[in-house]
Amino acid sequence: MTDKHTPGPWQIVYLPTGTGKSQWRVLDADAHPVSSSDVGPHAYNEANGRLIAAAPTLDTGWRTVTDAFHQMLLNRLSADEIVSRLDTLLDEHDAAIRAAKGDA
């Protein structure tokens, strides 16, 4: 499956506007804008931006999980290999979720 979005990783940066409003921009690995959040309360802008920035990591993780189970169903991976992959993936996903929630 070919991605139809800007490849990750993405990062979130704050851009002061001088108007009292906040603007958070999501940038790709080359610092090109992917998205911005500048509506609603300041805290929501940042939280929305963090969640958007985590999307490629979460998408990759989900694809890894589904691929691992598919390979297991086709008897290409042992249960131990699945557990090893999932253990690593869960650590990566926990970090991505913490970052998306501002707990990193």
Higher pLDDT, 74 or 28: 28
CA of residue 9 relative to chain centroid, distance? 8
Check whether 15 has a pLDDT greater than 90.
no
Query: pTM value?
Result: 0.66
Check whether 1 has a pLDDT greater than 60.
no
What are the tens digits of pLDDT across the range 61-88? 888 878 877 877 787 777 788 788 788 8
The pLDDT-based confidence of 27 (bands split at 50, 70, 90) is very high
CA separation (Å) from 94 to 62, 70, 88?
13, 23, 10
The whole-chain average pLDDT of the chain stands at 80
